[in-house]
């Protein structure tokens, strides 16, 4: 099914690598490796600078584990991000593509900010899935790891549709047992983009200069960076053409509508086959 939809953070690799080079980032951390699509790109970049990639993923695919073990410039930490961050220091850039919910992302960003301040590093963070469906709706891979006070009612089988706040049973973009969505879209403490916006607002209220660029394609890429960094103005100029680009947003919406249409065809075909087979 995933072959029908481009979904990887690696689709943004040119933008990300240009930004890493601009910031002279040597120590790079990524949250979530899965199959390692973005990891291989980052590892090549780190190798070119005699740097290191640290990949945080408690349960990546076996292919990634074997690949990481064969590359000395790659360190794998098999822990959830909020636990693994305590083992890190001197990080120049962060890529966040793990559990797509408010609680996890908001706390990841605050831990990153604290580590950057401790290590006297400017903040540079890339975040995937700031767009639909997880921008304003929590996704949970492990709901029991989210404190109840921050966990919305969720469903593993009902799916998300564009322009509908409530999940639809047996239809739409859904986890089918692999992940759960919050039943309702929108509202406080719900979704990746909401977490980023809350973090940015609190950071600015605390007197720190922080910029946030939104690239509305392939589920959305967000870039957070310290405006006081030596490379801050240059990075802003690099990102401006992509920031809230209306053409990219239109193409992304069309892409998602097409994908949801294919899902609907498949769901209806499966229902028709089940009906034709009759009761067993």
Comparing CA positions, the residue from 104, 117, 127, 106 lying closest to residue 30 is 127
Q: Tell me how far apart the alpha carbons of residues 200 and 116 are, in angstroms, rounded to a whole number.
A: 15
Q: Tell me how far apart the alpha carbons of residues 206 and 262 are, in angstroms, rounded to a whole number.
A: 46
DSSP secondary structure letters along 180-225: EEESB--STT-SHHHHHHHHHHHHHHTT--EEEEEE-STT-EEEEE
Cβ neighbours, 10 Å, residue 59: 11
Span 127-153, mean pLDDT? Answer: 97
Comparing CA positions, the residue from 147, 134, 145, 115 lying closest to residue 221 is 134
Say yes or no to pLDDT of 1 above 60.
Answer: no
Mean of per-residue pLDDT scores for the chain: 94
Say yes or no to pLDDT of 209 above 90.
Answer: yes
Q: Looking at residue 278, what is its pLDDT?
A: 72
Say yes or no to pLDDT of 2 above 60.
Answer: no
Say yes or no to pLDDT of 3 above 70.
Answer: no
């Amino acid at each position: 099914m995933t072959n029908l939809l481009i979904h990887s953070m690696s689709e943004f690799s040119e933008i990300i690598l240009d930004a890493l080079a601009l910031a002279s980032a040597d120590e790079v951390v990524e949250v979530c490796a899965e199959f390692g699509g973005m990891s291989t790109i980052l590892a090549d970049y780190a190798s070119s600078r005699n740097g290191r990639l640290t990949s945080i993923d408690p349960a990546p695919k076996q292919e990634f584990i074997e690949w990481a073990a064969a590359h000395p410039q790659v360190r794998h930490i098999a822990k959830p991000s909020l636990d693994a961050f305590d083992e890190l220091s001197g990080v120049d850039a962060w890529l966040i593509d793990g559990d797509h919910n408010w609680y996890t992302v908001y706390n990841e960003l605050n831990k990153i900010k604290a580590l950057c301040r401790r290590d006297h590093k400017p903040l540079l963070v890339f975040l995937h899935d700031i767009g639909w469906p997880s921008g304003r709706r929590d996704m949970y891979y492990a709901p029991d790891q989210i404190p109840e006070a921050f966990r919305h009612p969720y469903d593993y089988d009902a799916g998300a549709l564009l322009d509908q706040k409530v999940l639809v049973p047996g239809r739409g973009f859904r986890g089918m047992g692999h992940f759960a969505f919050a039943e309702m879209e929108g509202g406080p403490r719900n979704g990746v983009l909401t977490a980023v916006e809350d973090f940015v607002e609190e950071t600015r209220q605390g007197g720190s200069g922080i910029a946030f660029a939104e690239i509305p394609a392939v589920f959305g890429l967000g870039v957070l960076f310290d405006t006081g960094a030596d490379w801050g103005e240059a990075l802003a100029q690099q990102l401006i053409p992509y920031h809230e680009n209306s053409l990219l947003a239109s193409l992304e919406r069309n892409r998602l509508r097409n994908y949801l249409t294919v899902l609907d065809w498949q769901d209806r075909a499966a229902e028709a086959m089940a009906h034709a087979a009759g009761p067993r």
